[in-house]
Amino acid sequence: MSNGCTDDTDGVVRRAACNIPNLELISVPERGKGLASKDGALRSRGEVVFLCDADLSMPPEELAAFLTALESADVIAGSREAPGAHRYDEPWYRHVIGRGFNYLVRLLAVPGIQDTQCGFKAFRRNVARHLFGKQMLVGFGFDVELLFLARKFGYAIRELPIDWYFDADTRVRPGIDSLRMLGEVLYIRLGDALGQYRARDASPGTRREDIGG
């Protein structure tokens, strides 16, 4: 999924797709990580929908653990805070800002989930279609929205500890984007109070409780 790309990432993917039949580039000109993720998830055709940051800050070898974890849960959230997880090379101030933001997220939207913003998540296909179909946010706060909706609709969420390597070229700006995301979290709660997220009619999920990592 390419979203407002200004370098040759699109070209790299197109060239690689010549040799990888299942690789497809979807390019969205409008900016917004949430917008791009929603579009890609709803267009997906596989039995598992996996969100992955392009910087591959998590080693690709860990993908298999997500697939295994989906055998007993509906949503798998990669976590840099769950027991057994490791962070590498992250500046201390970014970690402090991230933990402060997560504290507010747990207080306002998804209590108990230690890392909502890790860019690696897996969903069962039918669960993904339901959650992304309800998603309203187009910015970085969409991760919180998806987890909020997953809990609202009774899906089982599991945090999976991962090894995570900080990329200094990250586009997330500490402070500025954190405040913007906090505003989006408040929007989620307000929208829910106003009935923006209607309950589903059927029950594509199979579990009702969060599962420990």
> Per-residue pLDDT for the chain (213 aa), expressed as one digit of tens each?
677 677 777 788 888 888 888 777 777 777 788 888 999 899 988 899 999 887 889 988 999 999 999 999 999 999 999 999 999 999 998 899 889 989 999 999 999 999 999 989 999 999 999 999 999 999 889 999 999 999 999 999 999 999 999 887 776 776 677 788 889 999 999 999 999 887 655 445 555 456 655
**Residue 113 domain-assigned?**
yes
Domain count for the chain: 2
Residue 201 within any structural domain of the chain = no
Based on the fold, state whether residues 43 and 9 are members of the same structural domain. no
Specify whether 71 is located in the same domain as 164: yes
Q: Is 46 helix (H, G, I), strand (E, B) or coil?
A: coil
CATH code assigned at 143: 3.90.550.10
For residues 71 and 165, state if they share a domain: yes
Q: Are residues 83 and 179 in the same domain?
A: yes
Q: Is residue 212 part of a domain?
A: no
Asked whether 183 and 128 are in contact (CB, 8 A), the reply is no
DSSP β-ladder status, 121-124 and 48-51: antiparallel
Query: Is 206 within a domain?
Result: no
**125 vs 129: CA distance, rounded Å:** 6
Q: Which domain holds residue 4?
A: 1-31
Output the 3-class SS for 40-83: HHHHCCCCEEEECCCCCCCCHHHHHHHHHHCCCCCEEEEECCCC
